[in-house]
Amino acid sequence: YEFLILEWLTLQNPLLKFSPQRPPLPGQEYPGLGLGKKVVDVFVYLARLIQKDGLLAFPAYFHNALLFTRYFQFLNPEKQGEVLAVRKSLSEIPFKHLAWMVHLNCLREEDGRSYEWRAEEQIYPLNKSLKEYLENRAYRQKVKQVLNNRHFTIDWDCYERRVDELIAGKRDGPR
């Protein structure tokens, strides 16, 4: 398959400052532009124009992967299920806090092991066979199996300690 590959994309406004109401997400230097959907639409158009089979992204941060799941799916159904299981397990946690919990390594697997984010490829399929792969029964069943069998909790002591350390070192951390 041939993809239009999104290696790195920064959608930030260097003229804005973070505030307590709008703190940064991991990796952000400036507030976002809120143009994610429009940018995906532009890249889909470009990929079709140059006859690619889809878009491929490699989200460096967990929160990027979670945001991308609106449009993209992981090639690996286990990874798709994992990201959805994290969100499902912690659905009551606001997105920005969950992003920092994962980034600061304060999420725990059901057995107590630390959850560590490892990026994998996500795709937006434009080609029929890629769409069929992501929609096929085996893929969907594997996603569902992982989603139903993986559970996560928060190590609140870890989170509070690491947030305090972050705020002491940088005044623009999560709040």
CA–CA distance, 163 with 79 (Å, rounded to integer): 27
Torsion sign over Cα 141, 145, 148, 154: negative
C-alpha–C-alpha distance, residues 81 and 95, integer Å = 18
The pLDDT assigned to 2 comes to 97
Express each pLDDT in 42-71 by its tens digit: 999 999 999 999 999 999 999 999 999 999
Q: Are 83 and 74 in contact (CB under 8 A)?
A: yes
Contacts of 147 (CB under 8 A, 6+ apart): 81, 84, 85, 88
Residues 6 or more apart from 11 whose CB is under 8 A from it? Answer: 32, 33, 35, 36, 39
Is 70 exceeded by the pLDDT of residue 171?
Answer: no
Summarised one tens digit per residue, pLDDT across range 22-49 is 889 998 999 888 888 898 999 999 999 9
Q: Report pTM.
A: 0.88
In the predicted structure, residue 172 carries a pLDDT above the cut 80: no
What is the rounded CA–CA span in Å between residue 151 and residue 172? 31
